[in-house]
Amino acid sequence: MEIKRMASSSSSGLTFKLHPLVIVNISDHYTRVKSQLNPPPLTSTSATVNGVENQQQAPRVYGCVIGVQRGRTVEIFNSFELLYDPSTHSLDRPFLKKKQELYKKVFPHFYILGWYSTGSDAQESDMHIHRALMDINESPLYVLLNPAINPTQKDLPVTIYESELHVIDGIPQLIFVRSSYTIETVEAERISVDHVAHLKPSDGGSAATQLAAHLTGIHSAIKMLNSRIRVLHHYLVGMQKGDIPCENSLLRQVSSLLRRLPAIESEKFQDDFLMEYNDTLLITYLAMFTNCSSTMNELVDKFNTAYDRHSRRGGRTAFI
Amino acid sequence: MEIEEKQAEVIDHFVKQVSAQKGSALGSVFVEATSHPSLFAFSEILAVPTVAELEGTDNSVHLEMLRLFAHGTWSDYKRNSGKFPQLVPDQVLKLKQLTVLTLAETKKVLSYDQLMRELDVTNVRELEDFLINDCMYAGLVRGKLDQLQRYFEVQFAAGRDLRPGQLGSMIQTLSNWLATSDNLLVTIQDKIKWADTMSELDKKHRKELEDRVMEVKKAVSVKTASRPILTSKGSMKSTLNLVE
């Protein structure tokens, strides 16, 4: 196990904005490669760097991230895949150049900001790749996605590393330092992320139907509101008892907030609400009726054909 | 809450001024404070000890005026105009704005007639101008003006200084709100459970139905296999249809 030398936070002062498209691209790449590795696993893309074999068939995928840098803000918009050449420990340069030219034609403002890979932690060998990219971008970024699914984890398993020159044991060395980032979404990305999020209820609760999933969403929203009101209530009670010094500005804000209640008690609201409720009930009733009548119709037809002994002979016709 | 942010600096400034001076000089500071266009909160100034000293002295009229601005309305001023010093036009405007805030405290829908009465304006145009320019653009209130029904619907109103008893009622309102949301949470949870149980029942029912159909199919096919093949064509067709 090689020693991973990393500082805990970066000091370059750059703010990073990551778009969801990049995360989806990386995870898609990883999933594709992993599912294509049917047993026996041919480790063509799994990294065997420094002799560390990934026994759990978790292939490492590599690629480039591109985006825009404006002043101190770095915004990562998109990414594309690259092949890793284990023999030379570097990424496929001619392909990279070709892709870069193609992207430049469509997005003239995008530059290569760095590269990405999957895994649980940054490794020493990644520094080689990092250094190799330094001729395109003097301070490239390393985006790392951890593909292990951890149900208790609340944040995204994505970390962004920068490289910094630190003096360790008297030798100036480049090490990876972790940086914080924010997620920035374009409207199109928001729609797709929203769609994916609604496919399955989030907290793993057993919400079998769509109705239950919808209600669960509302439930969690109200729970959050409830906890906030509870905090306010506690604060005011404390102020009344005298434990906390009275802060007038806050009290004014709370009073203005409370004046907005009751929020939905006007007569007009009741009218509209009841009308809509009645409409929904009527439509459901109508649908039920149609269903019933069609089932009856089928039943009668079957009955007729089943017990239809005296038809076509004039005189009595069958049941209906 | 932008009003609070805008006011914070002004409040600090005046509190410093008030604590630095005493006695009759405070009177002029009060006049300045109450005419300031973005200051609507006076309880901080009232809390400064030098201000409380004014109680009972000759300058208590100024203190009364400050209290009027903190908690009172324009009608209070008109009723007891003897007790208060003469107000400059800026202060008049300020007091009227604060009156609108007080009215918005009790009802969400304010009729034009009531507003015109409280604010001493005679025509609707003036009233609307006052509401739009001095109340809405200042950020004090947000709402909709309904001219046909002569209502002003308040959606948001900034808070005034708290009267001593108001804290208790606010706590009461908050606890009511908490109770309602707790009940609502329980109801939603019940509904979720109901939806789940209904879908379970539905699935079971469907499965039972299919099982029965399978059984009947098997029974009929056994019967037709064991029957002699010389049955009439009609009854053969009819049994098949029944199974379908």
Q: What is the mean pLDDT of residues A245-273?
A: 78
Find which of B45, B149, B177, B236 to mutate to test the A interface (most A CBs within 10 Å of its CB): B177
Q: What is the mean pLDDT of residues A261-271?
A: 76
Q: What value does the mean pLDDT of chain A take?
A: 79
Residue A55 clears pLDDT 50, i.e. is over it: no
Q: Is the peptide bond before A157 cis (omega within 30 degrees of 0)?
A: no
In terms of phi and psi (left: phi > 0; alpha: psi -120 to 50; beta: otherwise), the region of A98 is alpha
- A287 at B interface, C-beta within 8 A: no
pLDDT for position A47: 42
Would you say A103 and A128 are in contact if contact means Cβ atoms under 8 Å apart? no
B66-80 b/e (C-beta count within 10 Å ≥ 16 → b):
bbbbbbbbbebbeee
Average pLDDT over residues A45-68: 63
- In degrees, rounded to 5, the angle at the alpha carbon of residue B177 between the alpha carbons of residues B176 and B181 is 120
Walking along chain B (244 residues) 10 residues at a time, the average pLDDT comes out as: 76 79 74 77 77 70 78 80 77 83 81 85 85 83 85 82 78 88 92 88 93 92 70 48 49
Task: State the pairing for strand pair A158-168/A141-145.
Answer: antiparallel
pLDDT of B227 reads 66
Residue B133 DSSP code = I
**Residue keyed to tokens 């003239």:** A108
Mutate to test the interface with B, among A246, A258, A303, A312 (most CBs of B within 10 A): A258
A114 versus B23: the higher-pLDDT residue is: A114
Rounded to whole angstroms, the Cα distance separating B11 from B43 reads: 10
A261 part of contact set with chain B, CB < 8 Å? yes
DSSP category for residue A49 = G
Which of the residue ranges A55-64, A186-195, A275-284 would you say has the lowest mean pLDDT? A55-64
* The predicted structure's pLDDT at residue A1: 38
Biggest CA-to-CA distance, chain B: 125
pLDDT score, position B95: 83
For residue A263, the model assigns a pLDDT of 66
Q: What are phi and psi of B105, to 5 degrees?
A: -65, -40
Does the pLDDT value for residue A312 go beyond 70? no
The strand pairing partners of A177, in sequence order, are A7, A162
Domain residues of chain A, as ranges?
A: 15-37+58-184, 225-263
Q: How high is the pLDDT of residue B187? A: 93
Q: What is the pTM (predicted TM-score) of this model? A: 0.59
Three-class SS of residue A114?
strand
Higher pLDDT pick, A318 / B88: B88
Provide the percentage of residues in chain A whose pLDDT is more than 70: 81
ipTM above 0.90, yes or no: no
What is the distance between the alpha carbons of residues A205 and B189, in angstroms, rounded to a whole number? 12
Distance of CA B193 to the CA centre of its chain: 32
A15-37+58-184 CATH, one of 3.40.605.10, 3.40.50.300, 3.40.50.2300, 3.40.140.10 = 3.40.140.10
- Assigned token pair, A279: 């409409």
Within 10 angstroms of residue A68's Cβ, the number of other Cβ atoms is 15
Give the three-state DSSP class for A80.
strand
